[in-house]
Amino acid sequence: MGCGPETGRIPRVSRRSRTVVVSFLGAVVRPQGNWMPIAGAVDLMTQVGVDAPSLRTAVFRLKERGWLESETRNGARGYVLTDHALATLAAGDEVIWHARQPANLDEGWCIINFSVPESIRPKRYQLRSHLSHLGFGNIGTAMWIAPARMRSAAVKAVAELGLEEYAAIFVGGYVGTQDLTALLYESWDLTGIDRSYREFIDAYGKVIASTEPREAFETYLGVVDHWRRLPFRDPGLPREVLDPDWSAPAAAALFERLARALERPAMKHAATYWPQNDTALGG
């Protein structure tokens, strides 16, 4: 397998420990029954470049966030995923594993304009953050845009913060004279998003999907960890308004191919670190 063009072997995971651990929880711990043994998790994380102190710190922070609770199973100390963690991970599954499909240009656009009083300024920032997370782009002062299919999500975001009287939501087509593609590239960092997809392709495009369990596990977790943040940045704009060489489809196809090939041997390897595991794939 590879780390570059010469050997085809990819480097060990070098991102922040918490990020890798969250990827581990979603891609590995859930299929193993939503629980992980401490000793087994330490061994597996060491294989992908996360040492024991870093893992302990990451676990401590996740416990503080309400993601993990201590639980002993079959005599082994470990942690179980909470309902909050499971709901959060499930909410991201559709985007992470299937990517955002391009919107239909004929359906038009959803525009949100809001003017939140200074007295509740924190809610203004919360709404901006929520809209950005949903894939809205900033088209002007307090004005955000997304494909029309995001209307219900926008209404929900505004309602959850109790800002209905300060926000106006419109849906319609674009009839202006300014080039729509140029306008949208100014509203989102589409160049940066495209660059991230290309970096993923550069990192994994020449990787050969090994079926050797440990090697497959290391590569699988690295692929998932690198990929899982990318689709959330992508608003899923219609293909007609994107540059012809937009790299998202190629990156998504690469991710899906590697995930399919690596998942089973990776999970078989991980299962050996669970005591008396009855949920292991191929175990």
Kindly state whether residue 9 falls inside one of the protein's structural domains. Answer: yes
CATH number, residue 120: 3.30.70
Kindly state whether residue 179 falls inside one of the protein's structural domains. Answer: no
On whether both 77 and 215 belong to a single domain, the answer is yes
CATH number, residue 200: 1.10.10.10
Q: What is the pTM of this model?
A: 0.82
Give the total number of structural domains in the chain: 2
On whether both 234 and 132 belong to a single domain, the answer is no
Contact of 230 with 251, CB cutoff 8 Å: yes
Confidence tier at 5 by pLDDT (50, 70, 90): very low
Confidence tier at 92 by pLDDT (50, 70, 90): confident
- In this predicted structure, what is the pLDDT of residue 98? 74
On whether both 15 and 49 belong to a single domain, the answer is yes
Angle at 248 between CA 197 and CA 174, to 5 degrees: 120
On whether both 88 and 113 belong to a single domain, the answer is no
Contact of 276 with 38, CB cutoff 8 Å: no
Kindly state whether residue 157 falls inside one of the protein's structural domains. Answer: yes
**63, two tokens:** 């416990």
High-pLDDT (> 70) share of the chain, %: 92
Contact of 13 with 20, CB cutoff 8 Å: yes
- Max Cα distance, the chain (Å): 69
Q: In terms of Cα–Cα distance, which of 227, 95, 281, 250 is closest to 219? A: 227
The parent domain of residue 129 ranges over: 109-172
C-alpha 282/C-alpha 280 separation (Å) is 6
User: How distant, in Å, are the alpha carbons of 43, 44, 50, 85 from that of 63?
Assistant: 20, 19, 18, 10
On whether both 96 and 114 belong to a single domain, the answer is no
Cβ-based burial of 75 (10 A; exposed 0-12, middle 13-18, buried ≥19): exposed
| pLDDT 10s digits, 102-157 | 999 999 999 999 999 999 999 999 999 999 988 899 998 889 999 999 999 999 99
On whether both 128 and 26 belong to a single domain, the answer is no
| pLDDT 10s digits, 190-235 | 999 999 999 999 999 999 888 899 999 999 999 999 999 899 889 9
Q: Where are the alpha helices (DSSP H) in the chain?
A: 17-24, 38-47, 52-64, 83-98, 121-134, 151-160, 180-187, 190-204, 213-227, 230-233, 248-271
Neighbours of 200 (CB within 10 A): 21
On whether both 82 and 45 belong to a single domain, the answer is yes
On whether both 118 and 238 belong to a single domain, the answer is no
On whether both 199 and 265 belong to a single domain, the answer is yes
Cβ-based burial of 96 (10 A; exposed 0-12, middle 13-18, buried ≥19): buried
- In this predicted structure, what is the pLDDT of residue 277? 54
On whether both 157 and 30 belong to a single domain, the answer is no
On whether both 117 and 200 belong to a single domain, the answer is no
At residue 99, what are phi and psi to the nearest 5 degrees? Answer: 60, 160
Q: Indicate the average pLDDT of the chain.
A: 89
| Mean pLDDT score, 61-82 | 96
Kindly state whether residue 265 falls inside one of the protein's structural domains. Answer: yes
